[in-house]
């Protein structure tokens, strides 16, 4: 019997020894890492950062559950406020999915990551959740690849490329034709999504999707929503993102790829035809869209698709959400509506140009205040590409530098930065455009980021929003909210209202 049991006993013994060895090695490595981190903190002359205590000190499962639950229950922004309030500091550290994550709402840290130290904090390692939809491009790459992408697209977002705001007129007129003007309640938020889809596809690809003419053409927009939804889910899974399985997500990726490929193939074929028979094309047939600019510099379909997708996804719905939020506030603040309408009507529709829109003071205040209260990007995430530091967050007072080891995640929170009562006052959570009278917030206000990686379309987005709002003020005598519920923030391409923007308008 002993001879029969011995192999079994020895087998279990070997398994037990192996398990114990793995556990011992793991804890030794964690201990060594902690000691190394502490030593480097002192070497870099940094203060100790406050540590958010989780029930699980390594994986932070409870923290992850709280984050996921807040997203599912559409209270992520209030959860952020509660999280920072519970720490009593602007910068703290969390162990999350086996990684060190530094959360900060300190403007000095935002400035360092965006400008003075931007080459030390990378974006590529945090964008794996976008595979296989998007490869290396402007918003997902670092170093030379990012610089090349930036050089490709930056000239197209200079003023002369989009200053003709009348290109938005046909899409705006089309949307207005769909609105009831007899006081009937309607939700303008989905219509603005279609307005932006039509305008941006015309600008990017030279052909509008015309979803305001055919509602079924919004299928591209729905596919993008699915892609963003799946990518967000993959991001929340951290290193386990490859376990994400969703057939609809992959179908949406294929649909979007096919849509982009069709535009790319058409542009490449047209370029070939123009080069072979230039006499067949007149000056009137010249194209001014972004894709046409890119195909004259690139001929690789995958690279072209990545460049277009990198611009399309971050901007998808961002302007329409901004306009929706502006109308949400205008419908609930009659005084602001009247003052803005007076400023706009003093110019007249024929006077709506890039320069006049940019010089409208109160319009600028309204747009800025909307972006301050609900910025398009709630936070900015980077990965330390080397051992480095952040300017503030260490020590008992939070004023000493903070050590960041290579691989540490840094999350700078724009939403809370924009609502910091130390700068904006005790009413920072309130919508009040007049607060912009005479202030220059600099790094207290970064709706499009800052530094070399600032959104290249930032001026264009604000100009488009100003144009639509100005036309709206001219078209309608009054606007009225038809929804008493408070703004319920939900994250898409920006912070939009879960309940839409239900209003009524009366024409002149």
> Domains of the chain by range and CATH?
41-134+378-417 (no CATH), 135-375+418-507 (1.10.630.10)
404 has binding-site annotation = no
From CA 394, how far away is CA 46, in angstroms rounded? Answer: 6
3-state secondary structure 21-82: HHHHHHHHHHHHHHHHHHHHHHHCCCCCEEECCCCCCCCCHHHHHHHHHHHHCCCHHHHHHH
> What is the separation of C-alpha 365 from the centre of its chain, rounded to a whole number of angstroms?
22
Q: Are 469 and 326 in contact (CB under 8 A)?
A: yes
From CA 426, how far away is CA 423, in angstroms rounded? Answer: 9
Q: Are 256 and 223 in contact (CB under 8 A)?
A: yes
H or E stretch covering 403: strand 400-404
Q: Are 93 and 379 in contact (CB under 8 A)?
A: no
Give the pairing type, strands 99-104 and 409-413: parallel
Q: Are 101 and 412 in contact (CB under 8 A)?
A: no
**Phi and psi dihedrals of 46, rounded to 5?**
-110, 155
Give the pairing type, strands 379-384 and 121-122: antiparallel
Phi-psi domain of 412 (left: phi exceeds 0; alpha: psi -120 through 50; beta: other): beta
pLDDT tens digit at each of 508 positions of the chain: 455 556 666 666 666 767 776 766 656 555 666 677 888 899 999 999 999 998 887 788 899 889 888 988 889 999 999 999 999 999 999 988 778 999 999 999 999 999 999 999 999 998 877 778 888 888 889 999 999 999 988 888 887 778 899 999 999 999 999 999 889 999 999 999 999 999 999 999 999 999 999 999 889 888 888 888 787 777 766 666 666 778 888 899 999 999 999 999 999 999 999 888 887 776 556 788 999 999 999 989 999 999 999 888 766 778 999 999 999 999 999 999 999 999 999 987 778 999 999 999 999 999 999 999 999 889 999 999 999 999 999 999 999 999 999 999 999 999 999 999 999 999 999 999 999 999 989 899 999 999 999 998 899 999 999 999 999 999 999 999 999 999 999 887 789 999 999 999 999 8
Res 157: pLDDT: 83
From CA 31, how far away is CA 27, in angstroms rounded? Answer: 6
Which pair of tokens denotes residue 193? 């999504």
448: Cβ contacts below 8 Å, ≥ 6 apart: 376, 377, 454, 455, 458, 461
Res 249: pLDDT: 86
């Amino acid at each position: 019997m002993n001879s029969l049991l011995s192999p079994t006993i020895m087998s279990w013994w070997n398994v037990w020894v192996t398990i114990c060895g793995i556990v011992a090695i793991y804890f030794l490595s964690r201990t060594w890492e902690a000691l190394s981190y502490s030593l480097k903190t002192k070497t870099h002359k940094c203060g100790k950062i406050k540590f958010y205590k989780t029930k699980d000190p390594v994986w932070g499962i409870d923290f992850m559950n709280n984050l996921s639950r807040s997203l599912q229950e559409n209270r992520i922004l209030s959860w952020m406020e509660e999280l920072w309030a519970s720490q009593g500091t602007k910068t703290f550290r969390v162990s999350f999915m086996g990684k060190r994550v530094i959360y900060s709402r300190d403007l000095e840290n935002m400035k360092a990551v965006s400008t003075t130290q931007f080459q030390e904090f990378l974006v590529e390692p945090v964008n794996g959740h976008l595979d296989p939809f998007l490869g290396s491009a402007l918003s997902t790459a670092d170093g030379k690849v990012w610089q090349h992408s930036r050089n490709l697209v930056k000239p197209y977002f200079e003023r002369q490329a989009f200053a003709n705001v009348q290109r938005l007129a046909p899409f705006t007129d089309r949307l207005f034709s769909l609105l009831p003007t007899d006081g009937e309640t309607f939700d303008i938020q989905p219509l603005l999504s279609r307005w932006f889809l039509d305008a941006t596809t015309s600008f990017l690809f030279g052909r509008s999707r015309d979803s305001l003419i055919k509602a079924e053409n919004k299928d591209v927009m729905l596919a993008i929503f699915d892609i963003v939804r799946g990518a967000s889910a993959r991001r929340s899974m951290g290193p386990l993102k490859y376990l994400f399985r969703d057939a609809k997500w992959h179908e949406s990726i294929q649909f979007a790829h096919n849509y982009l490929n069709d535009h790319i193939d058409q542009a490449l074929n047209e370029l070939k035809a123009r080069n072979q028979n230039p006499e067949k094309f007149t000056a009137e047939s010249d194209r001014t869209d972004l894709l046409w600019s890119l195909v004259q510099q690139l001929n690789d379909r995958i690279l072209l698709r990545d460049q277009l997708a990198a611009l399309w996804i971050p901007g998808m719905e961002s302007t329409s959400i901004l306009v929706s939020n502006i109308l949400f506030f205008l419908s609930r603040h009659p005084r602001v509506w009247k003052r803005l309408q007076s400023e706009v009507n003093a110019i007249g529709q024929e006077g709506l140009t890039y320069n006049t829109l940019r010089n409208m003071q109160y319009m600028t205040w309204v747009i800025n205040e909307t972006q301050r209260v609900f910025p398009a990007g709630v936070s900015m995430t980077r990965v330390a590409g080397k051992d480095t530091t952040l300017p503030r967050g260490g020590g008992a007072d939070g004023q000493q530098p903070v050590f960041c080891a290579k691989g540490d995640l840094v999350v700078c929170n724009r939403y809370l930065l924009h609502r910091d009562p130390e700068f904006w006052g005790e009413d920072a959570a309130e919508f009040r455009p007049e607060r912009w009278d005479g202030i220059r917030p600099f790094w207290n206000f970064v709706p499009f980021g800052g530094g070399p990686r600032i959104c290249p379309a930032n001026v264009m987005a604000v100009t488009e929003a100003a144009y639509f709002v100005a036309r709206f003020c001219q078209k309608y005598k009054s606007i009225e909210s038809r929804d008493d519920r408070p703004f319920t923030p939900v994250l898409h391409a920006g912070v939009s209202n879960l309940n839409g923007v239900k209003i009524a308008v009366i024409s002149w």
